[in-house]
Amino acid sequence: MTDQTPVVSIRDVSKVFDLGGNNRLQALANINFDIFPGDFVALLGPSGCGKSTLLRLIGDLISPSSGAVQVNNKPAHQARLDRDYGMVFQQATLYDWRTIYGNVQLPLEVMNYPRDKRMARAREMLKLVQLEEFGRHFPWQLSGGMQQRVAIARALSFEPSLLLMDEPFGALDEMTRERMQMELLSVWGQTNTTVVFVTHSIPEAVFLSSRVVVMSARPGRVTGVIDIDLPRPRSFETRESPRFFQKITEVRECLRRDEVKGASS
Amino acid sequence: MTNVADLTPAVERELLPDRGRPGRLAQRLWRYVPAIALFIMALVVWEVVCDYFKIQTFLLPKPSLIAATFIRELPVISLAGFFTLREAVGGFVLGCTLAIVVALATSRWTIVSEGVMPFAIAVNSTPIVAVAPIMNNWFGITNPVAKMSIVAVIVFFPVMINMVRGLTQVNANSLELMRSCAAGDFTVLVKLRIPNSMPYLFSAFKVSSTLSIIGAVVSEYFGGSRDALGVYISQQAALFHFAEAWAAIIIACIMGIAFYAVLLIIERLVMPWHVSMRAVEN
C-alpha cells in the first residue's frame, strides 16, 4: 500500500474555532496521517474529539487554521472544485421536493450531465443500493434506512474517488444499522471508492474498516492508528469471530489509554 | 461477496404508506358532518331568538330575511363583489410579485436585506388601511388602482418576510451537500433556496388572500366606485338596510373562501411533496 500515492494526505493540521471575544476552541491539534486508494478508514472517538471537523477539512467544507490537506495530490479546495468526493451525513438530507430519482441525480444536474446519462446513472445507483423500484417515490415515503441508502447512491452517482461519511448510520436502529453496514461494504466492494467514515461506535469502526484512526478530545488529536486485518468479505460471522473481539479490545484499550493519560494530567 | 439478496429490506416495504385506498372519500366527508350540523343549529337558534325576543330588523335581521335579500339582491351584490374581487386579486398579484422580487434581491445581496428588513418589519406592524384616504387622493377615489395599491402594500410585507425566511433558513447539511458538489450561488438558489421557500411562500399567500379581501373592502369604506362591495355595505348600513349589508357580507365571505381555496389547490399542484399534503393522503 505504501508505494501508492495517498488519496488523502493530512500534514500538521490544526483547527481553531473563534467563538467570539476571547473564546477560542482548539478543535484539532497536529493531525498527521495518509489515506491510500481503496482504503476504508474509520475516524473513531468520543463526541467533541473533532472527527467531524476533520472530515469537513478533508472535504474543504471548512479550512484548517494551519497545516495542509491534500486530496488526490492537490489542495482540498481544488479537489472540491474538481468534484473528487461524495458526502453522506447523519441525516439523509434528501430534498423533499425531489423524487428519489431526482435526489440521486442532483449532483449530476449540478455538474451538467446530459439528461439521459443522469437517468441511466440514477437507475444504476439505485440498483446498487437495492432501491430500483422506489425511483418515483418521494423521500417521506421511505424509511430512515432506505433514505440513507438513497443518500449513499447520490454521493456515489458521479463516481467520486473518495466517499466522506459523517456518522451515516448514527440515527438508525441497531438492526437496520448492521444491515446497512453490510450493504455499504457490498457497495464499496463494487466500486473503487476510498471511504472515510466518522463514527463513535467501536464495533462499527472495526467491522467496516481496514484502518481505525483513534482520536481523543480537547484538543482533538490522533492517539493511534490500528490496522484491521480481518478477512474480507466480512459477513455476519465476522462479528462473532474471536479476531473481531480481539480488535475491538485493542481499539478500546487505545481509547482508554488516552482517557487515563488525560485524567492524570 | 456478501449475498445482498439476504439484505433486501422486505420489512421496510411494508412500512410504506398505502396510497389511494378506496372508501376514504366517504370517511372524509363524514368528518364535515359536525361542522355542518353546528352551522344549521346556529341558524335555527338565530332565527328563533329573533322571533321570540322580537329583535328589530335594523338591529339583527333574521337569517331567513337575509337569505331572501341575498337572492333578491344577488345580481347587484355579485357584480359589486366581482368588482371588489378584481381589486383584491390585482393588488394581491402586484404585491406578491414585488415581494418575491425584493426577497430574491435580499437573498442575493445582504446589503439589501440589512437595509430593507428593519423597515419591512416596522411597516408590517402598522395598520396599512389607515393610508386608504391618502391613496384615494393620489389615484382618484373611483380608480381601482387606489385600492389595489393598498392591497399590494398589505400583502407585500408578509409575503416578502416569509420568502426571505424560506430562502435563508436552509438546512446546513443541504448547503454542505451543494458545496461538496462545487455548486455556484445561482445553482444553490434555483435548486435549493427557491424550492425550500415554497412552503413559506404559500403559507404567506394563504394569509394574504384573506388580507387582500379585507384590505379591498375596508379601503372602499373610505369611498370608492358605486360598483364596489365595500361602498355598497357602508351605504346600506347608513340607510339601516341591514339585511342588504349582511347579504353583501356573505358575498365577501364567499370571495374570501374561494380565493383561499384556489390558492390551496395551486399549492397542492405545486408542492405535492409537502408535509401538509401527507395528512390528506394518509
Read off the pLDDT of residues B154-192 as tens digits, 9 standing for 90 and up. 999 899 989 999 999 999 999 999 999 888 889 999 999
ipTM of the complex: 0.88
- Does residue B10 form part of some domain? no
pLDDT for B282 equals 41
Contact A61 B179 (CB under 8 A): yes
CA-only gyration radius of chain A, Å: 19
Strands (E), A72-131: 74-75, 85-88
Query: Do B183 and B120 have their domain in common?
Result: yes
**Residue-wise pLDDT tens digits, B57-107:** 778 889 999 999 999 999 999 999 999 999 999 999 999 999 999 999 888
- Does residue A21 form part of some domain? yes
What are B's interface residues with A at a Cβ cutoff of 8 A?
1-2, 4, 7-9, 12, 15-17, 171, 173-174, 176-183, 187, 191-192, 195, 198, 271-275, 278
Number of domains in chain A: 1
- Does residue A109 form part of some domain? no
Q: Does position B15 have pLDDT exceeding 80, yes or no?
A: no
Query: Do B51 and B112 have their domain in common?
Result: no
Distance CA A55, CA A87 (A): 10
Distance CA A200, CA A189 (A): 23
The residue range of the domain holding B270 is 58-281
Distance CA A174, CA A188 (A): 21
Distance CA B234, CA A43 (A): 74
pLDDT for B277 equals 57
- State the DSSP code for A12: E
**Residue-wise pLDDT tens digits, B186-232:** 999 999 999 999 999 999 999 999 999 999 999 998 888 888 999 99
Q: Which of A87, A97, A235 sits opposite B273 (nearest CB)?
A: A97
Per-residue pLDDT band for B3 (boundaries 50, 70, 90) equals very low
- Does residue B5 form part of some domain? no
Q: Does position B134 have pLDDT exceeding 70, yes or no?
A: yes
pLDDT for A262 equals 56
- Does residue A56 form part of some domain? yes
pLDDT for B5 equals 40
- Does residue B144 form part of some domain? yes
Per-residue pLDDT band for A165 (boundaries 50, 70, 90) equals very high
pLDDT for B281 equals 46
Query: Do B229 and B146 have their domain in common?
Result: yes
Please tell me if residue A143 touches chain B, with a CB cutoff of 8 Å. Answer: yes
pLDDT for A53 equals 92
CA-only gyration radius of chain B, Å: 25
Q: Which of B9, B179, B195 sits opposite A145 (nearest CB)?
A: B9
Distance CA A87, CA B280 (A): 34
Q: Does position A109 have pLDDT exceeding 50, yes or no?
A: yes
Query: Do B50 and B62 have their domain in common?
Result: no
Distance CA A98, CA A122 (A): 13
- Determine contact, residues B129/B215, Cβ cutoff 8 Å: yes
Residue of higher predicted confidence among A15 and A261: A15
Strands, sheet with A24-35, edge to edge from the N-terminal-most edge strand: A24-35, A8-18, A66-71, A74-75
- Does residue A238 form part of some domain? yes
How near does any CA of chain A get to the CA of B163, in Å? 17
Distance CA A71, CA A126 (A): 27
A-B CB pairs within 8 A amount to 92
- Determine contact, residues A99/A133, Cβ cutoff 8 Å: no
Q: Is the pTM of this model over 0.95?
A: no
Q: Tell me the chain A residues in contact with residue B178 when contact means C-beta distances shorter than 8 Å.
A: 110
- State the DSSP code for A5: P
User: What average pLDDT does the structure give for chain A?
Assistant: 89
- Does residue A111 form part of some domain? no
3-class secondary structure, B171: coil
Distance CA B256, CA B212 (A): 9
**Residue-wise pLDDT tens digits, A3-52:** 578 999 999 999 998 888 788 888 888 999 899 998 999 999 988 888 99
CA angle at B159 for the pair B156 and B161, rounded to the nearest 5°: 100
Q: Tell me the chain B residues in contact with residue A105 when contact means C-beta distances shorter than 8 Å.
A: none
Strands (E), A19-90: 24-35, 40-44, 66-71, 74-75, 85-88
- Does residue B216 form part of some domain? yes
Contact A233 B273 (CB under 8 A): no
- Does residue A137 form part of some domain? no
Number of domains in chain B: 2
CATH of the domain at A32: 3.40.50.300
- Does residue A28 form part of some domain? yes
pLDDT for B174 equals 94
| Lookup: cell for A125 | 445507483
- Does residue A94 form part of some domain? no
Distance CA A169, CA B60 (A): 66
Please tell me if residue A111 touches chain B, with a CB cutoff of 8 Å. Answer: yes
**Residue-wise pLDDT tens digits, A178-214:** 888 998 998 898 888 899 999 999 999 999 999 999 9
The residue range of the domain holding A61 is 8-84+160-264
Q: Does position A134 have pLDDT exceeding 70, yes or no?
A: yes
